[in-house]
Structure 1
């Protein structure tokens, strides 16, 4: 299996890149998060996963090993193929996916295009224990973190801020300060809104 590719970026699109490795061009399908993190045309390393089907061998590229690991876990779930997994990784960061699964937040997972209620529940049932073990998460911090985030978002909504705009900022704050209290999250969010 091809586990990583190091080379020069020849083409860069939101859904795929072509990397030149000693004269051979490799097409790698990527998420929007990987696209955003990639430099223009320098030598880069992408961690990869090869999906073999009857009619094609498809290479997926990831900017971090964590993103690749989340992708592999997602495609292990029945009903979640590589396309849906890539869409999830384009809609949310790998950390947000881990948090949503660990905290059993069906609505966040279901908000991704192509995922219905049953698939979202299956993702949680199949992956919660694996996510908790693989990324060394504990139950207490997951639920405290999620409750504080939800409370802060509700408070910001009451103050008149749009939920979608607030959510991005609050997610970044919670990621940077996982043990932050509701008050601290709100104060930091107000500075950035």
Structure 2
């Protein structure tokens, strides 16, 4: 429908921008990534994705999602192709990650990172990675993905708990819960101790 919309910014907040194009004001939903890119500009061009949702025979809703660059739009379209991920959820994910960081998380299978997004549970995070990882790797070409610290912490912590005799499913749940409250300086030992606390409670 619309590939992009350009014009003057009439109003702007972290979730919505109104762009004036030849006297017509377009209300466009945006992510924090796009907001950061355009917040100091007076005129912009946003790549767009339009949706029409029919609620009843008499009522239809029309919405426009806008993106500061084509990479963000491409990632958005990939996300909404995953079962259980709607437009608003995809926008929330893009507000929680830079597009490149999200691609990195999917490419390395970092479930814990995706679960830090509000409303994204273990099953949805796994589905995103299963459905999109091969596509991400193919489109990335020669880009080398480095396993994230969070993913390494998870793997090493899980290995330790399995060695201690804990059930895999219970151990994974405890580790994922511990990782949600972790920081970039958290060690494997701290994750294991926290997970053990959850397992014993």
TM-score by length of 1: 0.73
Note the residue ranges of structure 1 that are not aligned, 5 or more in a row: 152-162, 168-193
Residue 125 of structure 1 pairs with residue 126 of structure 2: no
Give the counterpart of 2:85 among 77, 80, 102: 80
Aligned to 1:12: 12
Name the SS of the counterpart of 1:11 in structure 2: strand
Aligned to 1:94: 99
CA contact (8 A) 1:51 1:58 kept: yes
Report the alpha carbon displacement of residue 96 of structure 1 after superposing the two structures with TM: 0.9
How many equivalent residue pairs? 154
Report the alpha carbon displacement of residue 123 of structure 1 after superposing the two structures with TM: 0.3
Aligned to 1:174: none
Pair member with larger Rg? 2
Aligned-CA RMSD value: 2.3
The 3 A distance-change label for structure 1 pair 58 and 95 is: same
Residue 146 of structure 1 pairs with residue 151 of structure 2: no
Report the alpha carbon displacement of residue 37 of structure 1 after superposing the two structures with TM: 1.0
1:1-193 aligned at under 5 Å gives the runs 1-54=1-54, 55-138=60-143, 141-142=144-145, 145-146=146-147, 164=183
Report the alpha carbon displacement of residue 3 of structure 1 after superposing the two structures with TM: 1.1
The 3 A distance-change label for structure 1 pair 166 and 20 is: farther
Note the residue ranges of structure 2 that are not aligned, 5 or more in a row: 55-59, 153-181, 187-201
TM-score by length of 2: 0.70
Name the SS of the counterpart of 1:107 in structure 2: helix
Report the alpha carbon displacement of residue 27 of structure 1 after superposing the two structures with TM: 0.6
